Amino acid sequence: MINIDELIKTIIIPLVDFPNDIQILQSDTDRFIEYHLVLNKSDVGRVIGKYGHVIQTIRTIVYSIPVIGSKKVRLIVDDVKK
């Protein structure tokens, strides 16, 4: 089984200036396994990209990973860090 946390980090680290600030928090809901990506405030724009193209591509990759059960994966970008 693929470790989705590590996959997300592998994709995100080359895009950001502050890789040590990356946190991935996981939560479960009835329908989704949610991965909240917490970044340094100055890195959020780099990860989202112009018109959201970068984050959409990352989500396409992450969402293509099969998970056990009927839940789907959801990737959410938070900018809580300073």
Q: What does each C-alpha distance from 55 to 1, 8, 30, 70 come to in angstroms?
A: 23, 11, 24, 24
Q: Considering the chain, what is the average pLDDT of its residues?
A: 90
Residues 6+ away with beta carbon under 8 Å from 29: none
pLDDT band at 56 (very low <50, low <70, confident <90, very high): very high
Mean pLDDT of 27-51: 92
State in Å, rounded, how far the first CA of the chain is from the last one. Answer: 34
What's the number of domains the chain is made of? 1
Quick one: DSSP state of residue 64? T
The CATH number of residue 14's host domain is 3.30.300.20
pTM, full prediction? 0.85
The CA–CA distances, whole Å, from 58 to 23, 64, 69 equal: 16, 10, 22
Instruction: Give the residue numbers spanning the domain of 9.
Output: 4-78
